[in-house]
Amino acid sequence: MSAEEPSLAMLLLSFGLLILASAYFSSSETAMMSLNRYRLKHLARNKHAGASRASKLLETPDKLIGVILIGNNFVNFLAAAIATTIAIQIFGEPAPLITAIVLTLVVLIFAEVTPKTIAALYPEKIAHPSSLILLLLLKILYPVVWMVNVVSNALVRVLGFNSVSDDSHQQLSAEELRTVVYESSERISRRRQGMLLNILDLEHVTVNDILVPRHDIVGIDIEANTDEILSLISSSQHTRMPVYKKDINNLVGILHLRSVGKLIRLETVNKAAILGETIEPYYIPESTPLHIQLSKFQTKKLRMAVVVDEYGAIKGLVTLEDILEEIVGEFTTDLANSSKDFHAQQDGSYLIDGSTSIRDINRILSWNLDNTGAKTLSGLLTEMLQSIPDSSVGIRLDGYYAETVQVKGNVIRTVKMWQKEKVEEDD
């Protein structure tokens, strides 16, 4: 009996060590495959030793999986053989059913479920140190791994799949990147998160959505007298103004007011001098996406563009500042109160200028009006009514109410709007 006890103790010790080895391979596999690839690349670029080793292993996932599975299966089969020997010594005869049940439970709990759960929760803590052993095993077992991979890859190709690793599935689409930004709300401030989302939205927004409408353009009619022109220039809040003859469609050029200051100092202000300081207008189609237009502004070193429709008629203006505001927001703190197009009322409603773009309304008031069709509030209401109202008309939108207050020149000038929830609360 005493001669058998050391043998049994040795077998139990060996079995325990093999279970630990199996747990190591199981946790390493889960940890390596659970690593955040983008964080891993970031750490590797910053010379993190563990991340560099893990990144190197993941470059050839077939070899990584091969060495892990070779090691795991080897220790599991060896553990099963030792477990059978232990069962024979304890029960005196082979007990395959009891051995299989006990071994399955032990392997599942101690070598599979528990280590894989820990590895899934803390992949970096497991993968980085274990990558050192995996690299060593890969060098030692390379002939076996190579042979297994050759047979495995051949079988993969026979089944009609590509055995070559393709990293394209690791690249994020715009919508996936949007989800990443949303999920990073605890690490990124709300303002920066909003800016990142706005940048992603640029490709879905065209200059037609943010342009200054033609009737709102403040420009210089070169046919007016010089005093009127100088008065307009001195009271202008803009640094650049379009110069035209009688009608905005007869656009002559764009005048930078800094050039006028030079003329005033030289006391040579006249129409000919003003025309001489203008630059050629830069025309763009209304369908140009904002991200493309931003790039064009940078390339051409310009800050203003004239937007034209499909017939070549001027539809409005767009500036670099307009695009930047789409990213960072308006350059003011209380947008609804500071904007000349919005007037808050005591009952919670707003008097809104009909020419206000729906995108501005949604952004400033945090509403969700439909902007897939008409771009302005007047256009949206006219589209719904299918006519131009000649008196006050109430309109029910999806979640909002609108009441026309002023109609002038075949255009809805002023609208009173409020949210549906506000009305229900008052009722």
Domain ranges in the chain are 4-161, 205-328, 335-426
Beta strand spans in 101-230 (E): 212-213, 220-221
What pLDDT shows up at residue 334?
Answer: 44
Cα angle 318, 321, 323 (rounded to 5 degrees) comes to 65
What pLDDT shows up at residue 238?
Answer: 84
What pLDDT shows up at residue 280?
Answer: 94
What pLDDT shows up at residue 333?
Answer: 44
Cβ atoms 126, 28 nearer than 8 A: yes
What pLDDT shows up at residue 168?
Answer: 54
**335-426 sits in which CATH class?**
alpha beta
Cα separations (Å) of 380 from 287, 356, 377, 399? 19, 11, 5, 15
Span 382-409, pLDDT tens digits: 888 888 888 888 988 888 999 999 988 7
What percent of the chain lies above the pLDDT cut of 90? 34
Q: How many other CB atoms are there within 10 angstroms of residue 290's CB atom?
A: 23
Q: Which residues contact 114 (CB under 8 A, 6 or more apart)?
A: 23
Amino acid at 21: A
What pLDDT shows up at residue 338?
Answer: 47
Q: How far apart are the first and last CA of the chain?
A: 91
Distance CA 422, CA 346 (A): 12
Distance CA 397, CA 297 (A): 37
208, 242, 197: which is closest to 222 by C-alpha?
Answer: 242
pLDDT in tens, the chain (427 residues): 444 444 778 888 998 999 999 999 999 999 999 998 888 988 999 989 999 999 999 988 888 999 999 999 999 999 988 888 888 777 776 667 777 888 889 889 999 999 999 999 999 999 999 999 999 999 999 999 899 888 888 888 888 777 665 555 567 777 878 888 877 777 788 788 888 888 888 888 889 888 888 888 889 999 988 888 888 888 888 889 999 998 898 999 999 888 887 777 666 678 888 888 899 999 999 999 999 999 999 999 999 999 999 888 999 999 999 898 888 876 544 444 445 678 888 888 999 988 888 888 887 888 888 877 788 888 889 888 888 888 888 988 888 999 999 988 788 889 999 987 654 555 4
Beta strand spans in 164-246 (E): 212-213, 220-221, 240-245
What pLDDT shows up at residue 2?
Answer: 45
Locate all alpha helices (DSSP H) within 267-376, ordered by sequence.
Answer: 271-277, 290-300, 320-328, 335-338, 358-365
What pLDDT shows up at residue 422?
Answer: 54
DSSP 311: T
What pLDDT shows up at residue 120?
Answer: 93
pTM, full prediction = 0.62
Packing angle of the helix pair 4-34, 61-91 (nearest 10 deg):
150
Cα separations (Å) of 39 from 48, 124, 180, 187, 419? 11, 10, 13, 14, 43
70, 43, 235, 61: which is closest to 147 by C-alpha?
Answer: 70
Pick the CATH number of 205-328 from 3.10.580.10, 3.20.20.70, 2.60.40.1180, 3.40.50.300: 3.10.580.10
Distance CA 404, CA 384 (A): 13
